[in-house]
């Protein structure tokens, strides 16, 4: 369970402080709120509070709360699309679709600047339907150099699977459910991990430097250590463990244990 409590949508968390900070931020995992530690609004909260509503406080102006919450839900999806589109636009191999990506970026950015009432009425699904094929094509172009030996994993259930000996370079892992999967030492160069569920996945020693569309929350939900290689733009989660100390030479004479 990712949350220690349940609450109705649109109601403030009891741990929300007077200045809108989390009162238990440093102890979220220990208190059973792991789900909070992996949530990413992609900057939508700041945009809604500071731009769309120009700093209005829904606690001091309770009447604005319903619309503000609806707008945030829309803005969060739009900002997520902007992030993926920007990542795709930065892929040199995706040059054949750069013009289409630029057009989509312009459209989505325009939507985020709409007045609150208009924003709340935006059909996000319709825009996502137009954007997803572009992202898929960009990913296919970027994965092309890693075609050899790869297997299709799109949407596959890989819960608890040992994938250490599987060639994942250039793999299509979009939407794969890899909860608790063993990816130790795996090379995910060119692998498209859009929407892949990596909760509890073991990424110790894995090379994620060139993984496509990897977001911070996926790392935050997984397990790793100092040997996990990450893209420069992402941060090593604080809860990741350091690698175990190497055994002393004198203790290596005993029987070797198999891998866990």
Instruction: Please report, in tens digits, the pLDDT of each residue of the chain (260 residues total).
Output: 567 778 777 777 787 777 677 776 677 667 777 777 667 788 898 999 999 998 888 777 778 788 999 999 999 999 999 999 999 999 999 999 999 999 999 999 999 999 999 999 999 999 999 999 999 999 999 998 876 545 678 888 999 999 998 999 999 999 999 999 999 999 999 999 999 999 999 999 999 999 999 999 999 999 999 999 999 999 999 889 754 445 444 444 333 333 33
In sequence order, what are the beta bridge partners of 207?
187, 229
Burial (CB count <10 Å: 0-12, 13-18, 19+), residue 259: exposed
Half-sphere exposure of 183 (CA within 13 A, CB side): 32
CB 145 within 8 A of CB 97: no
Separation of alpha carbons 245 and 250, rounded Å: 14
Q: In this structure, what are the phi and psi dihedrals at residue 233, rounded to the nearest 5 degrees? A: -80, -10
Which is the CATH superfamily of the domain at 147-240? E3 ubiquitin-protein ligase SopA (2.160.20.80)
What residue ranges do the domains of the chain occupy?
Answer: 38-145, 147-240
> Which residues, in sequence order, are bridge partners of residue 22?
16
């Amino acid at each position: 369970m990712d949350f220690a409590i349940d609450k109705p949508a649109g109601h403030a968390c009891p741990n929300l402080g007077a200045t809108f900070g989390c009162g238990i931020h440093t102890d979220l995992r220990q208190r059973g709120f792991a789900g909070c530690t992996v949530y990413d609004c992609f900057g939508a909260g700041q945009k809604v509070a500071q731009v769309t509503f120009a700093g209005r406080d829904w606690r001091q102006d309770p009447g604005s709360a319903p619309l503000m919450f609806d707008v945030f839900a829309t803005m969060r999806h739009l900002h997520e699309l902007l992030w993926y589109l920007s990542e795709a636009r930065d892929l040199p191999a995706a040059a054949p679709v750069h013009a289409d990506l630029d057009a989509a970026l312009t459209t989505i950015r325009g939507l985020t600047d709409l007045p609150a009432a208009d924003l709340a009425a935006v059909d996000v699904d319709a825009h996502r339907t137009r954007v997803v094929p572009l992202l898929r094509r960009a990913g296919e172009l970027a994965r092309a150099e890693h075609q050899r030996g790869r297997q299709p994993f799109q949407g596959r259930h890989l819960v608890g699977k040992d994938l250490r000996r599987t060639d994942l370079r250039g793999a299509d892992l979009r939407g794969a459910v890899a909860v608790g999967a063993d990816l130790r030492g795996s090379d995910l160069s060119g692998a498209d991990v859009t929407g892949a569920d990596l909760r509890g996945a073991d990424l110790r020693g894995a090379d994620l430097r060139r993984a496509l569309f990897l977001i911070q929350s996926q790392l935050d939900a997984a397990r790793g250590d100092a040997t996990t290689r990450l893209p420069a733009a992402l941060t090593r989660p604080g809860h990741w463990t350091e690698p175990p100390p190497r055994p002393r030479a004198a203790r290596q004479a005993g029987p070797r244990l198999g891998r866990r």
